[in-house]
Amino acid sequence: MLSVLIRHGQTDWNLERRLQGSSDIPLNDTGRAQAQEAALNLREYAHIQQETDPGFTWHGVVTSPLSRAAETGQIIADELGLPVLGSYEGLAERSFKDLEGIKNYPELWETVENETADIEPLGDFLNRVEQALEQVEADYPGKNLIIAVHGMLISRLMSSRTGQKVPVPDNGTVTELAPARRASSIMLIRHGQTDWNKLSLMQGSSDIPLNDTGRSQARDTARSLIERGFTFDVVVSSPLSRAQETADIMAAAFGLTLAGTYEGLVERGYGQAEGLDISAEARREPDAYYAGVESERSVYTRGIETLRQIARDYPGQRVLAVSHGSLIRRALSATHGYEFGTIANAEPFQVDLVGLARWNENAEPLLNGKI
């Protein structure tokens, strides 16, 4: 898959040097001409790619939902005979809130650069853009795409992905999308045993501590991983104490300390079933028997979103993440494409990062081996 980013053509606000952000300002005639020129450049770009890959072709155009990007994408698609595959809300420009429409000047831009003004925080902005691009990749795996978006989006995204400051490109400029900076590996480990595990009680989001067997399991798993040659750069966990203590024990074995916790790694909430020894039938469909049980889809979705966030937070690093049985089983089933069985206490599993990036949140959860 090869994707390029196109900054939309000029608008009157660009011409007047007004902060545009999420305001929906249309192209002007100069902007439309720039979009046509971008299409010519993209045709030439494809010819260059064909020198090394004779089968190279553009497969389609996706866009920001804002009209200046959508019209730019449509003009390019028409010129190249391509389909417009859709727009993605997460690809809208960064919101400058009350600053939008104000003529830009150095002091104003400094407040944007330093985030001293009330604008969309950079971290939130980049997270929604990365999530949107992950969804594009999931929707069109292996396709060569033209993505019509916005200047600050391109600048900040490319700076984040390359580690070097990238200036805001001119209107109509073609920028090759740098690969996402993701973790080199993520290993998921279920926490060690608790007394509720020992008694086969539903645990869920209840904060039940490890018992001595659980602590021993954490040490044994760490020792086994070390003997097998595994090393880690970062250890994270669910905020529940049984996961945090497991993570602390394992981190110490690798000469590390716990780097942080993620709410999204907590166990599935089992509502009124928590603390009970429920039947095998009820364990298969607890929400059919007890109130307040978190949905299957919610567990899949937040588990995948959290693992993607961890991958973005620790690019190029080997991450050990301690979580819980139901969440791990569902996350692995989604990313690997087949259903996993029971996850034992302190059992480690490698996450398929390709599956993690490509999983489509609109897919049905895996149940009984089927999507």
Provide the annotated active-site residues: 191, 267
Q: CA 239 from chain center: how many Å?
A: 20
Residue 4: count other Cβ atoms within 10 Å of its Cβ. Answer: 19
Backbone angles phi and psi of 34, in degrees to 5: -65, -35
Chain Cα centroid distance, residue 16: 35
Tokens coding 327: 């969440």
For residue 318, the cross-strand partners are: 185
